[in-house]
């Protein structure tokens, strides 16, 4: 008869410990059923679930491990496991898996306590907790980025309410919390589509044009109501555009040069390109400015509205159909099909109500620094960090993000 033993080792980490410990077990033909290791500040926590093939071998292997680990100044604990306990555990490993990602400028104990309390309330068990971000500086003046990932298992009793609870505490504690299925697609995305205004860039270009035309307040009010979902996008767009009639074409280049990229945008796109991702701008803004960003960032596809200009003046109209929410959603699917990419492999990022159709089409839809209506409707949102926090949502560690 074999014996099942859970072995936990802790102490200061040293090179070669895994080899030392498993080398002793190997002399007794021990079978490894599970193994895990974590190192925090050079302190090792190491666990192994071992099947010792013959009960008579258990005392010698445990004795040898005790002697060697004591010599290495490590603490060890042995716990017998019954076959029934092991079977229940093994069957539980086949339950659905999810990833909970906590994003913040600084990770506080209360944040972890609140997140873990919600997972427990909905019947999810935490299998693993990992820090994806780099080791933070102790300098309070430094701009920190922090990310902790929880791997959880189980079937949430009410997934919709769970997301709502996460959204509530995220707003309360000024953090972002993402909850997504841990599927094969999570680290296998291939296409990222971006809204432009207030997503890739900090400004709403139509507001910038309006300021130059002397109608800034009027257009800004209409823009805000459209982004909040209070107005139909196409109707509000035509109304705002009409106020720009007569604006000199030379203003466009001046505005393009002063557009400021959103925090993390350049880093995110550089990293995605290095990994072979395809990228696209799907914008309700204007092609002139989207092309400017395409040249600057190396974006693969651009779809936006073509501002009509006659005799060097803006006419207050666009050429062709308006790129609204439904058009963005359609374009996402068209690009994915052209690139032979499944919808589940697409990431969509936007901030306004007209971005919701494309966010819902994508395998990973992210509302970025979005209006309340959009945050509540989207499956995922980022408000506290820059655009490159998306890399954490697809499982990249800080060491992989450079």
Q: Furthest-apart CA pair in the chain: how many Å? A: 95
CB 8, CB 44: distance < 8 Å: no
> Rounded to whole angstroms, how far apart are CA atoms 238 and 305?
11
DSSP code of 261? B
Q: Which residues contact 151 (CB under 8 A, 6 or more apart)?
A: 97, 98, 99, 126, 127, 128, 129, 130, 182
Cα–Cα distance, 215 to 208 (Å, whole number): 10
Retrieve residue 300's tokens: 């693969």
What letters, b where the CB count within 10 A reaches 16 and e where it falls short, cover 10-31?
Answer: bbebeeebeebbeebbeebebe
- State the catalytic residue, choosing from 165, 176, 197, 388: 197
Q: Which burial class, exposed, middle or buried, applies to 98 when counting CB atoms under 10 A from its CB (0-12, 13-18, 19+)?
A: buried
Contact 342, 281 (CB under 8 A): no
Pair 177, 274: CB distance under 8 Å: no
Marked catalytic residue, from 176, 195, 351, 355:
195
Dihedrals φ, ψ of 179, to 5°?
-130, 115
Of 331, 379, 333, 336, residue with least CA distance to 356: 379
195 classed as catalytic: yes
73 is catalytic: no
Whose tokens are 């936990």? That residue is: 8
Place of tokens 């803006």: 314
The pairs formed by 232-235 with CB atoms below 8 angstroms and a separation of 24 or more are 233/284, 233/322, 233/324, 233/325, 233/353, 233/354, 234/322, 234/324
Residues with catalytic roles: 195, 197
């Amino acid at each position: 008869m074999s014996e099942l033993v859970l072995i936990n080792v802790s102490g200061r980490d040293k090179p070669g410990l895994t080899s030392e410990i498993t080398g002793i077990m190997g002399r007794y033909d021990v079978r490894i059923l599970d193994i895990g290791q974590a190192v925090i500040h050079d302190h090792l926590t190491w666990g192994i679930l071992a099947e010792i093939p013959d009960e008579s071998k258990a005392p010698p292997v445990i004795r040898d491990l005790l002697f060697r680990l004591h010599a290495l100044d490590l603490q060890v604990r042995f716990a017998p496991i019954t076959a029934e306990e092991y079977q229940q555990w093994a069957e539980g490993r086949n339950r659905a898996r999810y990833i909970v990602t906590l994003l913040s400028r600084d990770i506080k104990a209360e944040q972890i306590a609140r997140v873990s309390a919600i997972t427990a309330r909905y019947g999810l068990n935490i299998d693993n907790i990992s820090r994806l971000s780099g080791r933070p500086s102790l300098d309070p003046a430094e701009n920190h980025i922090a990310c902790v990932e929880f791997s959880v298992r189980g079937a949430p009793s009410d997934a919709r309410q769970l997301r709502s609870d996460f959204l509530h505490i995220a707003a309360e504690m000024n953090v972002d919390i993402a909850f997504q299925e841990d599927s094969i697609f999570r680290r296998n995305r291939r296409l990222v589509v971006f809204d432009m205004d207030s997503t890739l860039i900090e400004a709403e270009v139509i507001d910038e044009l309006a300021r130059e035309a002397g109608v800034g307040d009027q257009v800004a009010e209409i823009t805000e109501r459209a982004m909040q979902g209070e107005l139909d996008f196409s109707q509000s767009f035509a109304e705002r555009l009409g106020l720009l009639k007569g604006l000199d074409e030379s203003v466009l280049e001046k505005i393009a040069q002063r557009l400021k990229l959103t925090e993390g945008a350049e880093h995110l796109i550089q990293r995605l390109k290095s990994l072979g991702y395809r990228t696209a701008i799907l914008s309700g803004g204007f092609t002139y400015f989207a092309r400017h960003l395409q040249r600057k960032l190396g974006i693969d596809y651009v779809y936006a509205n073509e501002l009509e200009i006659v005799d060097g003046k803006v006419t207050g109209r666009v050429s062709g159909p308006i790129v609204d929410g439904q058009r963005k959603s359609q374009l996402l699917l068209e690009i994915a099909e052209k690139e032979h990419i499944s919808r589940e492999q697409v990431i969509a990022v936007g901030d306004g109500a007209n971005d919701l159709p494309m966010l819902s089409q994508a395998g990973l839809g992210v509302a970025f620094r979005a209006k309340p209506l959009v945050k509540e409707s989207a499956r995922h949102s980022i408000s506290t960090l820059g655009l490159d926090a998306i890399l954490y949502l697809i499982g990249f560690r800080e060491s992989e993000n450079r």
